[in-house]
Amino acid sequence: MEENKLTKIIILFFLILIFILNFSNNFFSNVDEVIGYRSFRNFQDDSEYLVYSKLIEREYVNTPSKYGLLRFDDEKTEFANYTSSFGLQGHVFSFMYNNIHISLLGMRLLCCILLSIVLMGICLIIYKKYNKLLGASFYLTFLLSPWIVAFARNLYWVEFTWFLPVLFALMLSTNYSKWKIYVPLIFTSILLKCLCGYEYITSIMLLTISFFIIDFFIVKEKSEKVKIVKTTLIVGIACLLAFALALIIHGTLRGNGNIMEGLKNIYQQDVLRRTILGSSENRFVSLSQEDEFIGLTKASIESSIFKTVKKYFNWQTNIILGIPGKYFKFIFIATIAILEYNLLQNKKDHVRDIVMFVMFLFTTLSWYILGKAHSYIHIHMNFVLWYFGFVQICLYIIFKFLCEKIYEIGRKENIKSFQIERK
C-alpha cells in the first residue's frame, strides 16, 4: 500500500516536472515555429516591459508610483503610469527583485512552477472526478498547446492566476459541504487576478462555475441539485464581489482618492474602449493618447460580434503539437456530430459530455463577445481562450469515440473468428 502511494507521488512529481520544463524552456510545444511573429523568448514582451519598468523604478526615483505597471522612456529617463489596471504583479515582482534579489529568470521560473502546480491540480481532480481519459486530455492539451506555453513565463500575464480560482472550484466540487473553506479562496484568487488585470475575466469566472453546472446535470438526487445551485450562486456572487472590490481599489487609485471619479474614468477610457459596450458614438478620452491606433480602435468598436468571433475560427497556428489549426473547424463539427450520435444512441455519459461542450464553448466565447473590441485587436494572443476546457473536451470526445469504434470492430472480428473456428 505504501509502495503504491509512493509510486503515485513519484509519477505526480514527474508530470509536474515535465510541465515546468516545457513551460520554462519550450521543450515540446514548438512555440517558435507555431507563433513565428512572437517567438517563445519574446512573446508579449511589450506587456512584460511594463513590469520591467517597475523593477528599475527605484534606480531613478525616490518616491515609487502607486501603480504597479509603468512605461519607461530611457531617453528621457521618465516613467509613465500604466493605468489600465492596479498592477499587483508589478508590486510583487518589484519587491522580489529589489528586496529579495530574485533574478528575472528566477521570477519567470516561479511563474512556470506555480502554473504547473495549478494545472496539475486541475488535471488530477478531473482524472479522479470524471475519468482517466478526460484527465489525460486536459494534461496533454495544456502541455502541448503553443498558446498556454507561450504565456507561461510572462511576468505581466502571470498565467497561473487565470486557473487558480478554477482549481479551488474543482476542489469544492468534490465536497460541496466545504464551501466555507473554498469560497474565500475563490474570492481571493479572483481578486488577485483582477488586481493584475481584467483580461479574460468573464471566461475565468465562467470556467470557475462550469464544473458546478456540469455536476447539476449529472447528479440524480434533488437534494444534491439544490446544494449545487446554492453553491453556484454563492461562488458566482463571490466572484462578482471580488471583481467589484478590485474595481474599487483600482478606482481609488485612478481617481486620486475619489472612487467615483476613478470608476468613471475606468468606464470611459477602458470599458467603453475594450468591451461590447462601446460604440462609434462614444467619445474616448484615451484615443487622443493613442493617435496611431485610433483607426484600429474605431474598427474594433464598430465590428460586429460575428466578424470578431469568426477571426477565432481561422487558426494560423497548431491547436496542439502535431495538429494544425486548419483542422479546428473539422474538429468542431466532428465533435458536434459525435455528440448527436451519442445522444441518439443514449451512450453512457452523453449528457455530461454535451454539457461540458456547451459550457466550455460559452466560456471561451464570453470574452470574444463581451470583450469584443479587445478580441478584435488582440488576435495575436486571444486564441489561448480556446484552451479553457474547449479544446480538451473536443479532443476527448473524438478520441473516446474512435476508441469505442475500434473496440467494437475488434470485438466483432473476434466473434466472427470464434464462430468460424467452431464450424
Task: Give tens-digit pLDDT for 230-283.
Answer: 999 999 999 999 999 999 999 999 999 899 998 998 888 888 777 766 655 555
Where a domain ends, among 129, 158, 187? 158
129 pLDDT higher than 60: yes
Give the range among 111-115, 148-152, 202-206, 270-274 with minimum mean pLDDT: 270-274
Give a yes or no: residue 243 inside a domain.
Answer: no
pLDDT band for position 42 (cuts 50, 70, 90): confident
Mean pLDDT of 369-397: 91
Q: Residue 80 pairs with which residues in a beta bridge?
A: 71
Percent of the chain with pLDDT over 90: 67
In this structure, are residues 98 and 114 in contact, taking their beta carbons and an 8 Å threshold? Answer: no
| Range(s) of the domain holding residue 341 | 305-423
44 pLDDT higher than 90: no
- What pLDDT does residue 373 have? 83
369 pLDDT higher than 80: yes
Report how many domains make up the chain. Answer: 2
Give a yes or no: residue 206 inside a domain.
Answer: no
In this structure, are residues 57 and 157 in contact, taking their beta carbons and an 8 Å threshold? Answer: no
Give a yes or no: residue 284 inside a domain.
Answer: no
Give a yes or no: residue 259 inside a domain.
Answer: no
- What pLDDT does residue 77 have? 81
Query: Whole-number mean pLDDT of the chain?
Result: 89
Give a yes or no: residue 141 inside a domain.
Answer: yes
Grid coordinates representing 386 are: 480556446
Where a domain ends, among 158, 174, 201? 158
- What pLDDT does residue 406 have? 86
Give a yes or no: residue 225 inside a domain.
Answer: no
Give a yes or no: residue 262 inside a domain.
Answer: no
Mean pLDDT of 289-302: 60
Mean pLDDT of 410-419: 62
Give a yes or no: residue 385 inside a domain.
Answer: yes
Mean pLDDT of 25-33: 73
Give the range among 17-31, 82-96, 250-264, 405-419 with minimum mean pLDDT: 405-419
- What pLDDT does residue 6 have? 87
Where a domain ends, among 113, 133, 158? 158
